[in-house]
Every structure is written in C-alpha cells, then in structure tokens.
Amino acid sequence: MRRIYGAALAVALLFLATPAFPHAASAGGFEIAPTAGTEQPASERLCQFLRPMIPPRAACRDAHWQGVDLSMVWMVGADCRGAQLQSARLIGTDFRKANLSGANLNSATMWNSYLGDAWLYRASLRSASLSGASMNGANLTEANLAQADLRKAKLREALLVGTDLARANLEHADLTKANLNNAVLTNASMQYANLTGADLKGALLEGANLTNAVGLNRQQLSRARMDETTVLPSYLANSGLQSGGPTH
C-alpha cells in the first residue's frame, strides 16, 4: 500500500514540476487538456490532474456506460445523445452545454453535478439523485424525472415543458422563472421551493405539497390543474383554488 501511495505522490509532484504541457496528457483513459498558451498555477494543474477531462464536444453518443464512475469528469459540450448511463456515478460531473437528449440516466447519482444550459430533451432521469445539481437554463422538455431527488437543485429559467416530475422531491429547489407548462407534478414534494415567476400553465399539481413554497401567487396557480389534494402555502390556503381547479 505504501508503494502505491508513494508512486501516486511521485506522479503528482512530477506533474506539478512541469511548467506546461504542450499536448494533452492521459489519465485513466480520459484527456487532461491544459490551457493553451498560459502557465497554470500549481494548484490549478493539480486540480486538473485529479479531475480527468473529456475534450469539448467529445463523441460519447450512444455510449454504454451503465454503472460507470465518471464523478468530477469535465464533459462540457459533450455529445452524449442516447448514452446509457443507468446507475452511473456522476457526482460533480460537469455537463454544462452538453447534449444528453434521449440519454438514460435512471437511478444515476448526480449530486452537485453541473447541467447548466444542457440539452436533456426526452432524457430519462427516473429516480436519479440530483440533490444540489446546478441546472439553470437546462432544456428538460418531456424528460422523465419521476421520483427524482432534486432537493436544493438550481433550475432557474429551466425548460420543464411536459416534464414528468411525479413524486419528485423538489424541496428547497430554485424554480425561479422556470417554464413548467403541462409538467406533471402529481404528489411532488415542493416544500420551500422557490417558484417566483414560474409558468405553471397546465401543470398538474394534484397531490403536490407546496407547503412554505415561496413566490407563488393566485394568477400562477389559476392556470395550473389542482384538486382538493393539492397542499398550498398558508398565504394561499384559503383562496379556494383547489376546489375550483384550473380557471382557463
């Protein structure tokens, strides 16, 4: 064991001692891409050494990576359409602006992952763990997020049109200005969620728990589909919206 640790430390020190790499180095089968034309601080180069990278727009389309551990991998702009990533570990993985349309991410562990401006059209993330994930501006139109864990997820201005969020956990999630047109939120847990400016037209909120949700108003909810099982915040609980359902 000491020999393994010693070898790893030696490689890391050698990496830090090198002023700049003219070409990308290889680590664990993934590319480590240095910043061209600039000398990187030792701490930044160590971070890259520990964080393997896939080049931008890398072809991982239709890849079969079920159960693989790609935590902390840099996949900005990657083409991962149709990728099979069921039960994969993607903790802190950077998928910003990546194309994951039609990808299968069911039961994937994606704590604190980065999916800002990513394209996840009709992707399946059923029962995925996305607690703390940054998904601002992501396109999740018609995606399947049923029973997904989205606690404290950042979904500002995200497109969630027709998205299945049935029984999803959205507690403390930030859905500011998100487009939830016709989204399915039946029995979703939305306590303390921020819905300021969110578009709920046609959203199905039957059985949804909106206790202590912030930013909601009567106009937003009048366009949603609710019934007597919808639990509204206390400041809207006596508005009569549940019994009336949608007014449009």
Tokens of 190: 């939305």
Q: Is the pTM for the entire model greater than 0.85?
A: no
Is residue 224 a part of any domain in this protein?
A: no
Is residue 8 a part of any domain in this protein?
A: yes
Is residue 185 a part of any domain in this protein?
A: no
Count structural domains, the chain.
1
Is residue 14 a part of any domain in this protein?
A: yes
The confidence band for 41, taking pLDDT boundaries of 50, 70 and 90, is: very low
Burial of 6 (0-12, 13-18, 19+ CB in 10 A): exposed
Is residue 34 a part of any domain in this protein?
A: yes
Q: What's residue 216's pLDDT?
A: 96
Query: Residue type for 173, please?
Result: A
Is residue 36 a part of any domain in this protein?
A: yes
Which range has the worst mean pLDDT, 42-46, 76-80, 110-114, 239-243? 42-46
Q: Which domain, by its residues, includes 6?
A: 1-53
Q: What's residue 38's pLDDT?
A: 38
Express each pLDDT in 81-137 by its tens digit: 999 999 999 999 999 999 999 999 999 999 999 999 999 999 999 999 999 999 999
**How far apart (Å, rounded) are the C-alpha atoms in residues 158 and 138?**
5
How many residues in total does the chain contain?
248
In Å, how far from its chain's centre is CA 81?
16
Question: Among residues of the chain, what percentage have pLDDT more than 90?
Answer: 70
Measured CA distances, 169 to 29, 77, 132, 138, 237 (Å): 35, 28, 12, 18, 21
